[in-house]
């Protein structure tokens, strides 16, 4: 094994293309215990959005001693400045290798980036997975690299129902998949991209403010393990009504601690609230849908295959495209990253 790794490391240039999906948390990650190590304050648990993906090509080139390392990243054809997250990921992988490498990353997505649709989760999961496959890194390192890019990206490294266990330091913080995607293949997601003119606070800044100022956050953290266990149990027994209520309550609670921050943080806008009320009315007879909102106004609505067409039709007839809503997508759930041949 060591022989073959050495051999690989001797190659001058390596190229790989991978596909990774964003994920939607059923129990949200909100607040960090450590920014440097990207350790969260609570466990989170998610499912991948199969329909959306980042397709990422990584070219790794060996760098001679004294030669400058020139990493580059482009997203959808546009060069992006390398912020500290990219530096942290690339530095971390270089620290593990015997000699210096530079990285060229070009990524394209089939969904809008910077629209609050977890594009950075898909993007960093793809980069971490590509680096891992290129240098034969163990899963634990791939997950850590993804996390260094974006906390929630670590959940996109696995498939199925994925829990990010916070752990107490960088070696403990890890992800685990409780069920593969085919445990509950009927699950579907209807994603509503909300038209939004307001500039939202970034997740990073929002989390920092909440962690520093919200007193209710402590109560949320105390309940975290119980909620995670309830999600796993509802998922295990295909109990959609229980799963749905847990998902909606967690989303509400996350936005409640945002509102309890000082100054208060608002991610839900009037359309988000209309969607919340719409889902509760859709559920009037029986619970068939569950909304969840990340750090923005867009809604992800979980449902089952048998209800997805009715839900989609009622969403698109209730919310006029172009006015309140930009786009509505349907997706299956749960796939992990793959190498694209």
Q: How far is the CB of 338 from a second copy (least distance, A)?
A: 38
Q: How far is the CB of 276 from a second copy (least distance, A)?
A: 6
List the beta strands (DSSP E) in 50-119: 54-62, 72-75, 78-80, 101-109
Shorter beta-carbon distance to a second copy: residue 45 or 257: 257
Shorter beta-carbon distance to a second copy: residue 141 or 208: 208
Per CB under 8 A, 205 contacts a second copy: no
Shorter beta-carbon distance to a second copy: residue 263 or 322: 263
Q: How far is the CB of 266 from a second copy (least distance, A)?
A: 5
Measuring CA to CA, how many Å separate 278 from each of 33, 96, 243, 317, 321?
36, 50, 18, 12, 16
Residues with Cβ within 8 Å of 240's Cβ and at least 6 positions away in sequence, in order, are 234, 287, 288, 304
Q: What are 288's strand-pairing partners? A: none
What phi and psi, each to the nearest 5 degrees, are found at residue 15? -135, 135
Q: Choose among 55, 42, 166, 181: nearest CA to 110.
A: 55
Where do we find the tokens 């359309």?
A: 271
Per CB under 8 A, 219 contacts a second copy: yes
Crossing angle between the packed helical segments 270-282 and 305-318, to the nearest 10 degrees: 140
Per CB under 8 A, 299 contacts a second copy: no
Considering only residues 239 to 298 of the shown chain, the ones binding a second copy according to CB under 8 A are: 245, 248-249, 252-253, 255-257, 259-264, 266, 269-270, 273, 276-277, 280
Distance CA 112, CA 323 (A): 18
Shorter beta-carbon distance to a second copy: residue 115 or 256: 256
Shorter beta-carbon distance to a second copy: residue 6 or 280: 280
Considering only residues 58 to 87 of the shown chain, the ones binding a second copy according to CB under 8 A are: none
The residue ranges that bind a second copy (CB under 8 A) are 215-216, 218-220, 223, 245, 248-249, 252-253, 255-257, 259-264, 266, 269-270, 273, 276-277, 280
């Amino acid at each position: 094994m060591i022989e073959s790794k050495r051999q690989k490391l001797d190659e001058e240039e390596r190229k790989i293309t991978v596909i990774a999906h964003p994920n939607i948390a059923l129990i949200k990650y909100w607040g960090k215990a450590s920014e440097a190590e990207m350790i969260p304050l609570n466990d989170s648990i998610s499912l991948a959005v199969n329909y959306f993906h980042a397709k990422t090509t990584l070219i790794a080139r060996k760098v001679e001693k004294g030669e400058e390392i020139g990493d580059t990243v482009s997203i959808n054809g546009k060069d992006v400045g390398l912020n500290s997250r990219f530096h942290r990921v690339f530095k971390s992988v270089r620290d593990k290798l015997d000699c210096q490498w530079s990285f060229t990353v070009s990524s394209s997505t089939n969904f809008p980036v910077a629209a609050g649709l977890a594009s950075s989760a898909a993007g960093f999961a793809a980069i971490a997975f590509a680096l891992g496959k290129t240098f034969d890194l163990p899963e634990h390192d791939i997950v850590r690299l993804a996390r260094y890019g974006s906390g929630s990206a670590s959940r996109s490294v696995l498939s199925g129902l994925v829990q990010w266990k916070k752990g107490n330091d960088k070696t403990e913080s890890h992800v685990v998949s409780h069920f593969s995607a085919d445990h509950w293949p009927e699950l579907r997601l209807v994603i509503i991209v909300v038209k939004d003119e307001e500039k939202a606070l970034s997740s990073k800044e929002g989390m920092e403010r909440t962690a520093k100022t919200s007193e209710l956050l402590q109560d949320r953290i105390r309940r975290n393990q119980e909620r995670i266990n309830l999600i796993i149990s509802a998922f295990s027994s295909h109990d959609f009504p229980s799963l749905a209520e847990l998902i909606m309550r967690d989303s509400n609670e996350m936005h409640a601690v945002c509102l309890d921050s000082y100054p208060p943080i608002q991610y839900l806008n009037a359309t988000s609230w209309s969607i919340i009320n719409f889902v509760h009315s859709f559920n009037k007879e029986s619970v068939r849908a569950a909304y969840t909102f990340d750090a923005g106004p867009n809604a992800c609505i979980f449902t089952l295959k048998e209800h997805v067409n009715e839900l989609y039709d009622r969403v698109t007839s209730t919310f006029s495209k172009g006015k309140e809503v930009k786009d509505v997508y349907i997706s299956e759930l749960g796939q992990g990253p793959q190498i694209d041949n």
